[in-house]
Amino acid sequence: MLAFAMPTVLTREQVSAIAALAHLDLDPAELDLFARQLGSILDYANQVQSIDTAGVPPTASLVVRQTTDRADRVGPSLDIADTLANAPDPDRTHLEGGFFKVPRVIG
Amino acid sequence: MSGAATVRGARDLFRSRARSAADLCRDAIARIEALDPALHAFNTVVSEQALARARVVDHEFDRWRDAPLAGVPIALKDNLCTRGIRTTASSRMLEHYVPPYDATVVSRLAAAGAIVVGKTNCDEFAMGSSTENSAFGPTRNPWALDRIPGGTSGGSAAAVAARLTPLALGSDTGGSIRQPAALCGVVGLKPTYGRVSRYGLIAHASSLDQIGPLTRTVYDAALALEALAGADPADATSASAPVSQYTAALTGDVRGARIGVPRSLLEQGVDGDVAHALATALDTLRARGATLVDVELPYAKYAIPVYYLVSTAEASSNLARYDGVRYGFRAAPAHRLHPGSGGQDAGPHNLKDMYARTRALGFGPEVKRRVMLGTYVLSAGYYDAYYLKAQQVRTLILRDYEQAFQGPEAVDAIAMPTSPTPAFRIGERMSDPLQMYLADIFTVSANLAGLPAISVPCGFTSDKLPVGLQLTGRPFDEATLLRIADAYERDTSWWKETPPTVSAHPAPPPAHPAHPAHE
């Protein structure tokens, strides 16, 4: 039914590639552990492949509400100081500009 | 047993001025101080804030007297945002996060007169089945301290079971309200998807998540749902269907109600004591006038693989926001194990390294595993085979339920055990994630189909561990579900039994002479 076989064991390289997509810096022990565990979970999940789903639409959401119009009115927003208080910036310099700061990206 | 052990009882004590809101609050805090060191149901207790709020409610007695939850001390799962109270989702990533806003459910409970006393432990980002995945250590089951309370709302279930608060909110993505309710011997209700606003719930899997109450009685669950339910402009997925007077639906009359039993699904892997408790519960319902009907849910056996493909895909997307910029936690540059480009401290690699190290240090193993799985099933080349396929099978599971709830043979509810086994021992399943996932076999399909489902206490195993009966109902017909569950409760006394940890610390004496409401 499928043009390619599902892998039952992932290689360390495959796991490393997924980790890069997920922005997770995994150590070698984690790469090996996840290769094994994700492989066995996928192996189990592969039982769905045997189900005939020809012509069956996918269900992504169960939302029943109709989209409706609302008045375009300005309402209260989050308090900027409360929100910025969660920034990990230890010297609190971000508070002056009202921004979250990230590490330098331009040298 | 003190009247304060139920929501209705506590509220009535407040209304009659037998106990002030501050008394009720102090009792709850005293019980938390006595029992929580052993249970670890709470991540955060806000004694001062709670007492201050209770005093306001006492001071404004006339205003609050008729509020549905007036003076009732409550606990909130620590993935529900509370303005000014840290909200961690039991993750290092959010250990110091203080939300700048309240979740809609928090505002609604406050408007109903309830007093928040603390935030309960859970599996990190609500991923797990045992509350062992908390970054702050597991919660223990009040019925057996060496066992898990279930999860992910394990702290909420333990808090209600141990009489710390008569109401706690949980969230349920694949059984996370119902399974811990069952394993701790309390009532847990997952409303229909969209019935309760998710605004301010830290998202796990957005097409499955729903907030609901954990309580001692079905009446209390109905009372809580009346306060929680309804459309919310801040959540576009909240439903505008009218909210019933759920407490008024509890007539005790189930004559003519048709209850479906998916016998073939129940053949696999159900513990003997659990199966026996279910059979006895079904007899009780039949004796009250309900009709038992065999139903087939042929695709329900695929619910676990479908759930773990769909929920991890959604989680990998939802958790992308935790990148070390806005939520308090950031890995220091010194933590970089694999610097991107020659150790320079500027450039895009610097930023990406910060993201990847923050996420590596901030997330625990189960969260990483699920983010990895979700990223994989959404990645090019695997999307159709896994994610799309799972969504198609989700449609088939949904159709199974639609068929059972429609037509001349339609049933009013479907009965199953909530969990195939009683509470297992702490540590027993931690090394085998797949084994842990199988705990959710009877609960996940209600999330995939968006249906309301409730777990009510239905007995004990020979080891005196609680067992739960799960009833699943028609969308937005929580009233029928609650009516059947309440009728069952009226004929049983399982819910009245007291866990041994609580017997060692009996509830405070009921109804002191009234304290003056105006202090």
Number of Cβ atoms within 10 Å of the Cβ of B248: 11
- Separation between Cα atoms, residue B39 and residue B11, nearest integer Å: 26
- CB pair distance less than 8 Å for B351 and A102: yes
Look at residue B335 in the predicted model and tell me its pLDDT. Answer: 47
pLDDT at residue A56 greater than cutoff 70: yes
Mean pLDDT of each 10-residue bin along chain B, 519 residues long: 83 97 98 97 98 98 98 98 98 97 98 98 98 98 98 98 98 98 98 98 98 98 98 94 96 97 90 97 98 96 96 98 95 59 62 94 98 95 94 98 94 98 94 86 97 98 98 98 98 94 67 41
Could you give phi then psi for residue B77, rounded to 5 degrees? Answer: -55, 140
End-to-end CA distance of chain B: 28
Which helix (H) or strand (E) is B169 found in, with range? Answer: strand B167-172
Structure tokens at B178: 């119902």
Q: Please answer whether residues A37 and A5 qualify as being in contact, where contact means their C-beta atoms are separated by less than 8 angstroms.
A: no
Selected for mutation to probe chain B from A2, A4, A21, A25 (highest B CB count within 10 Å) is A25
Q: What count of CB pairs under 8 Å joins A to B?
A: 183
A-chain CB neighbours of B375 within 8 Å are 18, 21-22
B-chain CB neighbours of A1 within 8 Å are none
CATH of domain A12-50: 1.10.20
Structural domains in chain B, CATH included, are: 3-300+395-503 (3.90.1300.10)
Look at residue A62 in the predicted model and tell me its pLDDT. Answer: 87
Instruction: Please name the member of A21, A30, A63 whose beta carbon is closest to the beta carbon of B375.
Output: A21
- Separation between Cα atoms, residue B148 and residue B385, nearest integer Å: 35
Tokens 């309900």 found at:
B290
Q: Does residue B152 have a cis peptide bond before it, meaning omega lies within 30 degrees of 0?
A: yes
Report the residue count for chain B: 519
Q: What are the CA-CA distances from residue B469 to residues B118, B150, B457 (Å)?
A: 28, 15, 6
- CB pair distance less than 8 Å for B392 and A56: yes
Look at residue B513 in the predicted model and tell me its pLDDT. Answer: 41
* Nearest Cα residue to A3 out of B308, B384, B310, B313: B384
- CB pair distance less than 8 Å for A48 and B348: no
**How many Å lie between the alpha carbon of A49 and the closest alpha carbon of chain B?**
8
Look at residue B213 in the predicted model and tell me its pLDDT. Answer: 99
Q: Which amino acid does the sequence have at B240?
A: S
**How many Å lie between the alpha carbon of A42 and the closest alpha carbon of chain B?**
8
Could you give phi then psi for residue B343, rounded to 5 degrees? Answer: 75, 10
Look at residue A50 in the predicted model and tell me its pLDDT. Answer: 95
Look at residue A100 in the predicted model and tell me its pLDDT. Answer: 87
> Which strands sit side by side in the sheet containing B466-473, from one edge to the other?
B42-45, B115-120, B73-77, B167-172, B210-215, B187-190, B453-460, B466-473, B413-417, B258-261, B291-294
Mean pLDDT of A63-81: 84
Rg (CA), chain B: 22
- CB pair distance less than 8 Å for B433 and A44: no
- Cβ neighbors of A70 (< 8 A, separation 6 or more) are B233
Of residues A102 and A44, which shows the higher confidence score?
Answer: A44
- Separation between Cα atoms, residue A37 and residue B312, nearest integer Å: 14
**How many Å lie between the alpha carbon of A96 and the closest alpha carbon of chain B?**
16
Number of Cβ atoms within 10 Å of the Cβ of B343: 9
Could you give phi then psi for residue B81, rounded to 5 degrees? Answer: -70, 135
**With 0-12 CB in 10 A as exposed, 13-18 as middle and 19+ as buried, what is B361?**
middle
Look at residue B267 in the predicted model and tell me its pLDDT. Answer: 86
- CB pair distance less than 8 Å for B193 and A51: no
